[in-house]
Structure 1
């Protein structure tokens, strides 16, 4: 049975699914009609955070150009340049047992590539979601709704450790400043 979450809700993942060691995290979206004459490219990024809420360096940042992190326990499926079609646009594979002990949160974000330069924002995006599933079923789903207007980056959700178990939190926080703003918040210094 799928657990559908609203913004801010949290749910057990491994405690309510004994024996669960590997999950897939699918992220999807559609773009509304857009007449700006430029491509619309959304990208999933993953931040591997320590207890202080920061990454330890570039190895703590997983995205289409650095597709593997946390000693191989987090793998990005690759960049989907169009977001066309239904279902997951990008998928992240997580081996929960292999995640190094110093990683307390795995944060999933979606950004608009060059959104500010192209005059694009999440007000032009619909049907955005994150879902956690395994080979047999969908476990958790969070549909973001469409209450963003000027943001070019979203923290969608996070897997995190609590008392030796993994949980999932539906975040849904928007940022201006795109990927650079997220990187700076999570301890990576970028231009």
Structure 2
């Protein structure tokens, strides 16, 4: 049975699920009826971070134009441009056994594509969630529903998966950013052209 988390809650992933080496990180959302006349395109992405909380290389940013992390430790299954339908809108597959030793944390984020040009923000998005599924058993391990009401934010750090004493843990972050993908990249030490 999946555990439902609240913002700020941290939970162990691998210690309480021995043998679990591969997970599916599913993200989903709905857009409110009023969208300002433009279609929404939300994008999940991930940042592989060193001990200092920064990306060590440009290719440690996993998104729709770079679908695979080093050693295939994290694979983005592709961009869903509409978010229509039930269940996960986008997924990342993480293999704990393939994560390079210098990577200590993976930040999972969602941004709104061209939010500024389309006059969109997360105040127009509802029912956002992240869930972690054991890839071998297809069992949902945990779920975090973002209940916060964001208003002007165009990017969200949904959660972090991080190493702690040789095990992997999950942190329900739910922190919003203005400035979209550019602001997120800057926060994690990457420059966007």
Q: Identify whether the pair has TM-score above 0.5, normalized to the shorter chain.
A: yes
Whether 1:158 aligns to 2:160 is: yes
TM-score under structure 2 length normalisation: 0.97
Would the alpha carbon gap of residues 37 and 11 (structure 1) be closer, same or farther in structure 2, given more than 3 Å must change? same
Deviation at residue 144 of structure 1 after TM alignment: 0.1
1:114-151 CA-partner distances (Å, limit 9, x unpaired):
10111000000000000000242000100001410000
1:13-57 CA-partner distances (Å, limit 9, x unpaired):
000001110001000000001242212100001000000100012
Within 1, Cα distance between the matches of 2:86 and 2:102?
36
**SS at 1:100 equivalent:** coil
Query: Which residue number in structure 1 is paired with residue 69 of structure 2?
Result: 69
Q: Which of the residues 164, 169, 172 maps onto 2:171? A: 169
CA contact (8 A) 1:64 1:78 kept: yes
TM-score under structure 1 length normalisation: 0.98
CA contact (8 A) 1:144 1:172 kept: yes
Moved over 3 A (4+): none
CA contact (8 A) 1:32 1:124 kept: yes
CA contact (8 A) 2:35 2:124 kept: no
Within 1, Cα distance between the matches of 2:40 and 2:181?
15
Q: Which stretches in structure 2 are left out of the alignment for 5+ residues?
A: none
Query: Which residue number in structure 2 is paired with residue 30 of structure 1?
Result: 30
Within 2, Cα distance between the matches of 1:16 and 1:95?
17
CA contact (8 A) 1:108 1:157 kept: yes
Q: What is the number of equivalent residue pairs in this alignment?
A: 191
Deviation at residue 70 of structure 1 after TM alignment: 2.2
1:48-77 CA-partner distances (Å, limit 9, x unpaired):
000010001211100011000122110001
CA contact (8 A) 1:12 1:166 kept: yes
Q: Let me know the Cα RMSD of the aligned residues.
A: 0.9
Query: Which residue number in structure 2 is paired with residue 87 of structure 1?
Result: 87
Q: Which stretches in structure 1 are left out of the alignment for 5+ residues?
A: none
Within 2, Cα distance between the matches of 1:188 and 1:49?
11
Within 2, Cα distance between the matches of 1:81 and 1:168?
27
CA contact (8 A) 1:55 1:187 kept: yes
Within 1, Cα distance between the matches of 2:87 and 2:35?
24
